[in-house]
Amino acid sequence: MVKVLLSVHPDCREFVAAIEELLKRRQNDTSIADHTLIWQYDDWGPRTWTRTEFEDMVYSSYKPMRQGRVTRPPRREIVMEIAEYLNCTLEERNRLLIAAHATPVAPYLTGEKLDEVLQVAIEVARSLPIPAIIINRDWRIH
């Protein structure tokens, strides 16, 4: 992998390293053959794919990026599509976003943490000299 990273443009090295790490992790978790992975299930059973499919169908600029011909990481929308295709967790998705120099996805708060933040927001809204409301992600008005 070090040899691969040497040919990658410096602005893209972190992104390529994150993708390679993710692909390797997927291979090690559920490998069934060389470069063939089963990791996502659909209505017809397990889904398999190869690195070539990833490069050709998901992100066609990945191979040129690994060869040093692409000089910037993909846009946020492309990274989100890659993460969706690879069925990434929030942590993996954020790792890819940060590696692509994009803003990570903020995790949703739940339970006590949400209540604590909500109480602070309510106090701030009450102290404002203008009318204010607080609406959370499930459209509840406080």
Q: So what's the pLDDT on residue 50?
A: 58
Rounded CA-CA distance 44/25 in Å is 24
pLDDT at residue number 7: 85
Question: Do 9 and 41 sit in the same domain of this protein?
Answer: yes
Looking at residue 31, which CATH number applies to its domain? 1.10.260
**Span 52-57, average pLDDT:** 68
Instruction: Give the best-scoring range by mean pLDDT among 25-29, 48-52, 87-91.
Output: 87-91
Residues 89 and 113 in one domain: no
Do 73 and 45 lie in one domain? The reply is yes
Contacts of 92 (CB under 8 A, 6+ apart): 22, 83, 86
pLDDT class for 72, splitting at 50, 70, 90? very high
Q: How far is CA 128 from CA 122, 124, 132, in A?
A: 10, 7, 7
Residue 87 sits in the same domain as residue 139: no
- What pLDDT is stored for residue 142 in this prediction? 83
- Domain range for 128 is 108-142
- pLDDT value of position 124: 94
Same domain, 94 and 135: no
| Residue 41, pLDDT above cutoff 50 | no
At 38 the pLDDT is 44
142 shares a domain with 93: no
Residues 59 and 88 in one domain: yes
Residue 87 and residue 26 share a domain: yes
Question: Is there a single domain that holds both residue 23 and residue 85?
Answer: yes
Pair (132, 94) in one structural domain = no
Q: Which residue has the higher pLDDT, 75 or 108?
A: 75
The domain tally of the chain equals 2
- 62 and 131, same domain (yes or no): no
For 7-21, 22-36, 47-61, which range has the lowest pLDDT when averaged over its residues? Answer: 22-36
> Residue 115: phi, psi to the nearest 5?
-60, -40
